Structure 1
């Protein structure tokens, strides 16, 4: 009986193995990557959507789209409105609706502290400058002169960290001011109307000076590099782990765009492309004035960037923006930039 039972079970066992193999193949096919979704800041100007910075070049260059198509994968850009980039991208990552995103430091720290893991896989240059603006008739000459006064600051956005560093350097705290949580558009309007005494913002500060409704009394150009506002290329940790080849393609496309943009002979053309966002070229040129052009496109995950994110995590814990610590070494992943620089013969391009 035992012997016959054994013989009877062999066809069943074989069928089970075949069915199991078929099921495994079906499951693999169902999980095969079909789309790569990349979120990026987008501007609407004259009913035309324009991507920001290097992503504009990545979109116009067919290389990435073609490389993915060869693997049966479609490239999909996910535009993020400038007024709500951080919130939008965090929600998209949390709901697994995007795989990569170009966005700022503080929102990414908040996301990872919440339990949604992403990897910083390429740096965004030396960062963007931030500015302290006061009304044109103000007698204030520094942040110290605004103690006890009204300052507009968009809380939770990347430049909050820069503002915190400025205060700390002067032994000041948020409680020393009346902080109004206003986005840049509302902050500019409040400054123009005389309802605030100071406004901490980005390069739109130059527009306020041009309109003679504000004057800049401080900028991060006067501070260490890690005080700047940063935005980088992030990837969903699960996606990066499961799709290293595709992740490398995305990083390579980004590096190709940075290489082109960083060349001095392309500076005027690149500034013209950026101005499609609606920001005048005169403002864009003043933003980078006095700083090496190539540095604005440095993709290296270096000590300056590492320190910036360590400071950002420490500040987020202290300000109770997050409750759980984020390990900077878990956040940063330099493998793809390092490999891409080798493959594209760009190892000596940035130091």
Structure 2
């Protein structure tokens, strides 16, 4: 009798323990390789920024009390995101091409799930009275960029196209806030960046002397939503719903009638709406916010991997086989009726036939 009672007690305890495990909440940790003005936990210019500001993931799991969303914005940008993945502190993240390739080269187990912020332009601003009028004038001058980011690689490619390399300039490693301060005080001569430089120029504190917009598309920057492989394998259904949410954000961000509302939403980051209007001028929203993993995107990541190693930013070859995982994206596009919504492009940069 005692044995039977003991067995029943153990069974009951195990059952309660199992129920407790089943009800234990899952926290989905989402990282973002940027941060807003004055460290605001928002960003701009990408569908992932829309997903955050519009609470798309939170709405997707609103009826699941045991699933929580936690966002982290990184002042240290892409390299800091890699640290988060390496320490299993992130499940998904928005990240630029160079740092995600560095992570891949160093053995981080991640999957590329969808594009976000692909085809982003890069800007070059010069301090007032610096005498810098063209890229060739940068030789020997003090230039700011943020090392290890996709802007870093893009800047080096731009320099190379104009007969310069990284050793021909004095590189100062600064984040966005540091760049703004240094350029304003003229502690540096020029800087590579994006909206923060457009904003400085609008205030008359610097001059934009070059942008990749309208230049060779290979000089631009790409980014996407990356997932931790262990989380994806353990929670494929949750992963699908996360991707669904990002695709819904990309769709809304790509609709031209939403342009004014989109820029107002991104203004949560602290970036003024007129600056966002300039940043997206002459570009369709669908072109900049497409989530597609098309031949153009894959070819550009392959080129970035080669160029990254060539310029000494990546120390080893990057194996991209099996890294791109489009099945969740394709499923979302099919179920949401978006099969023909975005234009896909070939590796040559030309649109694929419908």
TM-score normalized by the length of structure 2: 0.83
**Residue in 1 that maps onto 2:228:** 236
**Residue in 2 that maps onto 1:102:** 94
Indicate conservation of the 8 Å contact 2:29/2:90, yes or no. Answer: yes
Indicate conservation of the 8 Å contact 2:199/2:275, yes or no. Answer: yes
Post-superposition offset of 1:284:
0.6
- 1:126, 1:44 → 2: CA distance? 19
Structure 1: any 5+ residue segments left out of the alignment?
A: 1-18
Pairwise CA RMSD of aligned residues? 2.9
**Residue in 1 that maps onto 2:268:** 276
**Residue in 2 that maps onto 1:254:** 246
- 2:108, 2:38 → 1: CA distance? 36
Superposed counterparts of 1:165-314, under 5 Å: 165-314=157-306
What do residues 211-246 of structure 1 show as CA deviations (whole Å, max 9, x unaligned)? 222101100103233422222110012222332222
Greater shift in the superposed pair: 93-102 or 53-62: 53-62
Post-superposition offset of 1:33:
8.0
**Residue in 2 that maps onto 1:112:** 104
Indicate conservation of the 8 Å contact 1:123/1:233, yes or no. Answer: yes
Post-superposition offset of 1:112:
1.6
Verify: 1:90 aligned to 2:66, yes or no: no
Structure 2: any 5+ residue segments left out of the alignment?
A: 1-10, 344-354
- 1:246, 1:200 → 2: CA distance? 38
Task: Kindly indicate which of the two structures has a greater share of residues assigned to helix.
Answer: 1
Q: Secondary structure at the match of 2:213?
A: helix
Indicate conservation of the 8 Å contact 2:126/2:206, yes or no. Answer: yes
Post-superposition offset of 1:285:
0.5
Verify: 1:158 aligned to 2:150, yes or no: yes
Indicate conservation of the 8 Å contact 2:111/2:226, yes or no. Answer: yes
- Residues matched between the structures, number: 327
Indicate conservation of the 8 Å contact 1:80/1:88, yes or no. Answer: no
Q: Secondary structure at the match of 1:333?
A: coil
- 1:273, 1:229 → 2: CA distance? 23
**Residue in 1 that maps onto 2:73:** 80
Structure 1 pair 164/347, CA: closer, same or farther in 2 (3 Å)? same
Structure 1 pair 124/48, CA: closer, same or farther in 2 (3 Å)? closer
Pick the structure with greater CA Rg.
Answer: 1
